[in-house]
Amino acid sequence: MVHTLPEGEPVMGVTSLGEEIYLLRPKDVEQVEVYDVISYRLLRRLSVPNALGFSDMTSCQHFLCLYIGVPDAECIHRLDLQGNSTMWPVNDKPAGLSVNADHNLTVTCDEVRKIKEFSPRGDLLRLVTLPDDIINPYHAIQLTNCKFIVCHGEVGDPIHRVCKISSDGRVTIQSHGGERGSDVGQYDVPNHLAIDNEFVFVVDYNNRRVTLLTLTLDYVRQVVSRDQVKWGPEKLCYDVHRRRLYVADNEFKDGDYTAVGRVVVFSV
């Protein structure tokens, strides 16, 4: 562990862009907190207009912007780094967000088991329907070869795993996980991913850990264990250049969030 950013409202998304770290919290205004990537000093706050109940946040290095998912409104908000906002409809509830090699936004819609690809202006470019056995997909990231890495499994689902899916969404090529559990090789609600050129980081929410896999989904090790988080890891972002893993750590009691969350920084 390198550092812990300040506790506050639950962290619904974390991403890095250039020299800054961005945290998304469910407040009425100033929902995005911006921190310096070296000193971890709070620099400023940005507001997402008319939005609460966020699902995820990601960033685009090419267009220097943030994307934020709002499930209740079934929409995406795009913020530039000065806080100017635009919005477009998803027409399904967005869950996990990521940006692909073409600088387009990929939105995982867990309730309908689909991945939607949007241009930076909000034009729907592609719709991918996932295989029938992928239930409650939380997050998907598209690789440079156009295949997808997807994590799926809610409490009560028979299968909790990470899969590599063909670019058309029809074929599961590789997978890691299976029946819900806490042993090595098992997951209990894998709900967020980060990927670099060699590895896949997987948030294993109920097991309170982050698992490291190869791009062929072979197990490597646990990079964050349950004794390194205070509550429960939920979102994460990997800064490839600094080899820093930012993990959102939120308290969750009686089926709902409390008013407490933070981001923990790990060196990987």
Tell me which residue of 41, 44, 35, 39 sits closest to 16, measured CA to CA.
35
Strand pairing category for 124-129 and 32-36 = unpaired
DSSP three-state, residue 226: helix
What pLDDT, in 10s, does the model give residues 211-221? 999 999 999 99
The percentage of residues in the chain with a pLDDT greater than 90, rounded to a whole number, is: 94
DSSP three-state, residue 119: coil
What is the C-alpha separation between 158 and 204, in angstroms, rounded?
16
Residue 197 has pLDDT above 90, yes or no: no
CATH of the domain at 209: 2.120.10.30
Residue 252 has pLDDT above 90, yes or no: no
Confidence tier at 255 by pLDDT (50, 70, 90): low
| pLDDT for the residue 253 | 77
- Location of structure tokens 């090699």: 101
Longest dimension (CA), the chain: 46
| pLDDT for the residue 256 | 67
The mean per-residue pLDDT over the stretch 166-171 comes to: 95
What pLDDT, in 10s, does the model give residues 108-160? 999 999 999 999 999 999 999 999 999 999 999 999 999 999 999 999 999 99
Number of domains in the chain: 1
The mean per-residue pLDDT over the stretch 245-253 comes to: 92
Residue 235 has pLDDT above 90, yes or no: yes
Q: Find the domain containing 111 and state its range.
A: 3-267
Measured between alpha carbons, how far is residue 21 from residues 125, 161, 192 in Å? 29, 29, 18
Tell me which residue of 199, 263, 242, 215 sits closest to 9, measured CA to CA.
263
**Residues whose CB falls within 8 Å of the CB of residue 109, separated by 6 or more in sequence, listed in order:** 90, 92, 93, 94, 95, 115, 116
What pLDDT, in 10s, does the model give residues 50-66? 887 899 999 999 999 99
Confidence tier at 1 by pLDDT (50, 70, 90): confident
What is the C-alpha separation between 248 and 10, in angstroms, rounded?
8
